[in-house]
Amino acid sequence: MRVMVRQTQNDQGQDFSNEAVICVRRAQAAVSELLTGAGLGGARPTEVGRILGVDKTLAWKMSRFSESTDLVKAVKHIPGTGGIEIMLKAAAENGVATEQIEAVREADRAFRDFVRQRAGDRRSFEAMLAAGGRDERVEMEERKSFYQSSSAIWGVRAKVQMLTLCLRPSETNDDRVDVLQISGFVDFERLRADVPWIIRRLWTSDTEASTDNDFERSPVCPEAAKDGSLPVIPEFCTHPLPEINQFRGNNGVIYDEIAPGPVGKHGSLTCVTGELYRGAIPRHWSPENTFGRYELVLRTPVEWVMFDIFIHEDLSNFGDFRHSVYGLLEDRPGVGVGKSHDRSISGPEDAMRLGTPPIVQSNRVGEYARLLGYAFDRAGWGDLMSYRGYRAELEYPATPWCLTMQCDIARD
């Protein structure tokens, strides 16, 4: 009888983590022994640098590497091979035993061999190491690098992408909800003059298979959005207004794109839009309506994303919101109810509560409070005093991502 054992991906990941821990800890132990042999066990980095006569940055890295209990942070401090050899030469000149010096050299060689064989390079190794327990600082560095690279490749970037949804009971149908939507980009820049960029894809659907266009939609500023053009709010856009091209794809989707134009800060623009959807979504619980999910698809390289939702107090059956981030790179098929949200990058996490009435200020969007007041006034909605607010924010999102806000809908 032959017994077959299949190793799962989790098992494989655990093997990597265990081997990485041993490899890094051995290197840390060797460096600690080296510093102790030089009479510098527990010494400050400045003292290590002064006594051994090495650069203060190198001394700081070696000290931090040997002391760190966080494996990911420890790896970030490992100097290059050249730095290691400088430290070993200095240690030898200060009388450290040959076996302690060779122990560091051998541990460093073993670490670099492990990285090369299992990950290929240091950055990949750090990402793999952090996967077992996410390190926010490492992820932020990687996302910022991704933003810089994708900006250079695609030729566009923006400071902020924002989406705000305001929900209240419909004025025309007691079973439905009206939605005021405000969205846009702040300080959008082209890095190449010949690049157009799609900023809106217009379609609606209640399910994956059918569309629902039965609700009424109207621009917040009808005088600026004629014949189905992008519903800009001129008061909060740069002037002259951004040149927008609109076209319909073979799939029936209407696309709005920022036209090619001047590059860099000289051509920087802000484009804010607003629309009112009357009777857009169901208000009450039903077997087909147990939660509300609202999405912001991120395709543009941006530094910051802000997604706000404001709920009228009369929609008390709408619960508190949680946010999640999903990757869209694979175009995975739908699974179960709703869209293909089975592979989460992060979340779900509780959305930031903005209070009732909400505190809406944002240092990323300087006139945000005035923008909301202006849109409410133009829509005839009064003010935000009767609303509770929620916010999700992301720094340097790695596109294409989907940021979702979701709440449970309770029985009335």
**H-helix or E-strand spanning residue 277:** strand 269-282
Question: Phi and psi at residue 164, in whole multiples of 5°?
Answer: -125, 130
Q: How confident is the model at residue 124 (pLDDT cuts 50, 70, 90)?
A: confident
Decide which of 278 and 20 is more confident: 278
Instruction: Strands of 283-400 (E only): list them.
Output: 291-298, 302-312, 322-327, 344-350, 352-355, 387-395
Q: Per-residue pLDDT averaged across 172-186, rounded? A: 95
pLDDT reading at 207 higher than 90: no
CB 242 within 8 A of CB 269: yes
Who's near 351: CB < 8 A, 6+ residues apart?
309, 320, 321, 322, 323, 390, 391, 392, 405
pLDDT reading at 293 higher than 90: yes
pLDDT digits (tens, 9 = 90+) for 242-253: 999 988 888 778
Calpha distance 253→204 (Å, rounded) = 9
pTM: 0.72
Q: How confident is the model at residue 205 (pLDDT cuts 50, 70, 90)?
A: very low
pLDDT reading at 340 higher than 70: no
DSSP letter string over 183-234? Answer: EEEEEEEESSTT--EEEEEE---SSSS-----SEEEESSGGG--TT---B-G
Question: Phi and psi at residue 250, in whole multiples of 5°?
Answer: -65, -20
CB 295 within 8 A of CB 378: no
Q: How confident is the model at residue 28 (pLDDT cuts 50, 70, 90)?
A: confident
pLDDT reading at 2 higher than 50: no
The yes or no reply on domain 154-408 and CATH 2.60.40 is yes
Q: How confident is the model at residue 18 (pLDDT cuts 50, 70, 90)?
A: confident
Q: How confident is the model at residue 85 (pLDDT cuts 50, 70, 90)?
A: very high
pLDDT reading at 9 higher than 50: no
Question: What is the structure's pLDDT at 227?
Answer: 77
> 22: which 2 tokens?
């041993």
Domain ranges of the chain: 9-133, 154-408
pLDDT digits (tens, 9 = 90+) for 370-385: 999 999 999 999 999 9
pLDDT reading at 208 higher than 50: no
Instruction: Determine what percent of the chain is predicted with pLDDT higher than 90.
Output: 55
* Strand arrangement of the beta sheet that strand 254-258 belongs to: 197-202, 254-258, 244-248
Q: Per-residue pLDDT averaged across 203-225, rounded? A: 67
pLDDT reading at 7 higher than 70: no
CB 293 within 8 A of CB 402: no
